[in-house]
Amino acid sequence: MFKKILIANRGEIALRVIRACKEMGIRSIAVHSVPDEDSMHVRMADETICIGPASSIESYLSIPAIISACEISGADAIHPGYGFLAENAKFAQILADHKITFIGPDPSHISRMGDKISAKQTMLELGVPCVPGSDGTVNNLEEAKLVSHKIKFPVIIKASAGGGGRGMRIANNHNELSSAFNSARLEAQSAFGNSDVYIEKYLGKPRHIEIQVFGDGLGNAVYLGERDCSLQRRHQKVLEESPSPALNHKTRVKIGDICASAMKKIKYKGAGTIEFLFSNGEFYFIEMNTRLQVEHPITESVYGVDLVREQIQVAAGMPLSFVQEDLRMSGHSIECRINAESLPKFVANPGLVKTFHAPGGLGVRMDSILYSGYKVLPYYDSLIGKLIVHADNRSLAISRLKRALSEMIIDGIETTSDLFSVLCENDEFQNGEYDIHWLEDKLDTPEFLDKFL
């Protein structure tokens, strides 16, 4: 087992990994930017190294700075968390060249899944159902027209290198195609330095359902059920739950088996998430994330597993600590993303947190970077905490969430927490009747707006 793990990240995910290291008796090394000196991950780690200024490019994204920190501290492995370098195949390869273990999949899998076109082609070959669309890159408007007529409007034009909901445009008809195609390509070029786009059928009111997979790199792989991440704003997840209110056991097993067998075939190593749109009872693959997800705790809650410990063990060459038959889903879990943003427009709202009180009690988990007196920085992601509840069933989980939210105090800055209290009172949410557009539509209604103005 590793003696020292360096965490190439910050925020709540760095904290999550440090906690796993402590429980495993592994020394943790936090890297941080200059303004992050007072951050929770720096306070909680066994050793700390400053790697650069506020700008992520010069700190959390600087491969030379992170490799130097690794060499100075004598770390034998790096956990990348999510975001930053977590899905950077070049980084994983450089670590391999330096004989430092990357806690994640092989660089070849990261790069294959990082490009959405090659990811889709791979998944099709592995028998995973995909959204109908172009065979690969669509190079010009003529090709775009041919594909769109074949799959029929509406269509969505998406960046091959896409992420974070950028580089996507919808065309409802022939007239909208040209400007949608051109602006998707322009946005893809400026956001990702790669203008390649592809086209998919635009699914009207799907749910976003993703399957957690785990492999040992030797050909063993399992699935750990699904997470329903349909509650989104601007393609960003806001609240996630497991199991999905839309799936039954039979459907779960069917898609789970398809995903696990695909991962066995490619000998996938570590944690991965296969994202689908779910519409009219059918699954359509959209992308795979070759890392731990923000919302992994809801899977941990319903399966009673520690996914970060598992990642570390598998990276150290150990076999998976469970086989599919050992994995049983129990109860219901919900995660709320608490962002330092003001409602109803989700405007970033960093600043000093005068008082913080975390909720507790049975079935409540708070993964947060806050403490009273902490100053939320303007340079980074606005996620400051995740409130996760677990209970025997969905309705009890919602009651528990309401109770936990009522206990939580974050004084000094505005956060998104009030949104969840409003959601808990909403009939459609209570009945699990929502799709990927539902929240955005609701946010424009007096029921929601009046509460936040």
Decide the pairing of beta strands 269-279 and 236-242: unpaired
Q: Tell me if 382 sits within 8 A of 340, measured CB to CB.
A: yes
Please give the full DSSP string across 283-347, using - where no structure is assigned: EEEEEEE-S--TTHHHHHHHHT--HHHHHHHHHTTPPPS--GGG----SEEEEEEEESEETTTTE
Count of residues touching ligand ADP (by CB under 6 A): 18
Instruction: Enter the DSSP assignment of 133.
Output: B
CB 235 → ligand ADP: shortest distance, Å? 4
The one catalytic residue in 291, 337, 394, 400 is 291
Rounded distance between C-alpha atoms, residue 121 and residue 124, angstroms: 5
Q: What is the CA radius of gyration of the chain?
A: 21
- Choose the binding region for ligand ADP from 27-35, 160-168, 254-262, 317-325 (rule: CB under 6 A): 160-168
- Choose the binding region for ligand ADP from 96-104, 122-130, 200-208, 366-374 (rule: CB under 6 A): 200-208
Q: Which of residues 207-246 bind ligand ADP (CB under 6 A)?
A: 208, 232, 235
CB 248 → ligand ADP: shortest distance, Å? 22
Q: Please select the residue that binds ligand ADP; options are 436, 438, 442, 443, rule is CB under 6 A.
A: 436
Q: How far apart are the first and last CA of the chain?
A: 53
200 binds ligand ADP (CB under 6 A): yes
274 binds ligand ADP (CB under 6 A): no
- Choose the binding region for ligand ADP from 156-164, 333-341, 406-414, 441-449 (rule: CB under 6 A): 156-164
143 binds ligand ADP (CB under 6 A): no
CB 434 → ligand ADP: shortest distance, Å? 12
Rounded distance between C-alpha atoms, residue 393 and residue 330, angstroms: 9
Instruction: Enter the DSSP assignment of 385.
Output: E
Counting Cβ atoms within 10 Å, is residue 396 exposed (0-12), middle (13-18) or buried (19+)? middle
Q: Tell me if 209 sits within 8 A of 167, measured CB to CB.
A: no
Per-residue 3-state assignment (H helix, E strand, C coil) for 337-365: EEECEECCCCEECCEECCEEECCCCCCEE
What strand order describes the sheet that includes 236-242? Answer: 282-289, 269-279, 207-216, 221-233, 236-242, 332-339, 383-391, 364-368
Rounded distance between C-alpha atoms, residue 104 and residue 9, angstroms: 14
Token digits for 331? 């109860």
**Identity of the residue, 32 or 337, whose beta carbon is nearer to ligand ADP in the bound complex:** 337
Q: What are phi and psi of 429, to 5 degrees?
A: -65, -45
Rounded distance between C-alpha atoms, residue 393 and residue 166, angstroms: 35
Q: Which of residues 282-321 bind ligand ADP (CB under 6 A)?
A: 286-287
CB 302 → ligand ADP: shortest distance, Å? 21
Rounded distance between C-alpha atoms, residue 74 and residue 146, angstroms: 56
**Identity of the residue, 163 or 350, whose beta carbon is nearer to ligand ADP in the bound complex:** 163
398 binds ligand ADP (CB under 6 A): no
**Identity of the residue, 162 or 331, whose beta carbon is nearer to ligand ADP in the bound complex:** 162
**Identity of the residue, 187 or 216, whose beta carbon is nearer to ligand ADP in the bound complex:** 187
Within 10 Å of residue 183's Cβ, how many Cβ atoms?
A: 13
Residue among 216, 235, 184, 212 nearest 289 (CA): 212
Is residue 291 among the annotated active site residues? yes
- Choose the binding region for ligand ADP from 20-28, 68-76, 157-165, 347-355 (rule: CB under 6 A): 157-165
CB 282 → ligand ADP: shortest distance, Å? 12
Q: Please select the residue that binds ligand ADP; options are 129, 163, 350, 412, rule is CB under 6 A.
A: 163
Q: Tell me if 354 sits within 8 A of 373, measured CB to CB.
A: yes
Q: Please select the residue that binds ligand ADP; options are 64, 165, 304, 378, rule is CB under 6 A.
A: 165
162 binds ligand ADP (CB under 6 A): yes
**Identity of the residue, 112 or 208, whose beta carbon is nearer to ligand ADP in the bound complex:** 208
CB 230 → ligand ADP: shortest distance, Å? 8
128 binds ligand ADP (CB under 6 A): no
**Identity of the residue, 121 or 321, whose beta carbon is nearer to ligand ADP in the bound complex:** 121
Q: Please select the residue that binds ligand ADP; options are 131, 197, 221, 404, rule is CB under 6 A.
A: 131
Rounded distance between C-alpha atoms, residue 382 and residue 111, angstroms: 27
- Choose the binding region for ligand ADP from 105-113, 203-211, 219-227, 402-410 (rule: CB under 6 A): 203-211
Residue among 234, 208, 209 nearest 436 (CA): 208
Three-class SS of residue 52?
strand
CB 168 → ligand ADP: shortest distance, Å? 6
Q: Please select the residue that binds ligand ADP; options are 74, 164, 304, 373, rule is CB under 6 A.
A: 164
- Choose the binding region for ligand ADP from 161-169, 251-259, 313-321, 359-367 (rule: CB under 6 A): 161-169
275 binds ligand ADP (CB under 6 A): yes
**Identity of the residue, 275 or 418, whose beta carbon is nearer to ligand ADP in the bound complex:** 275
| Catalytic positions, written as ranges | 291
Binding site for ligand ADP (CB under 6 A): 131, 156, 162-165, 200, 202-203, 206, 208, 232, 235, 275, 277, 286-287, 436
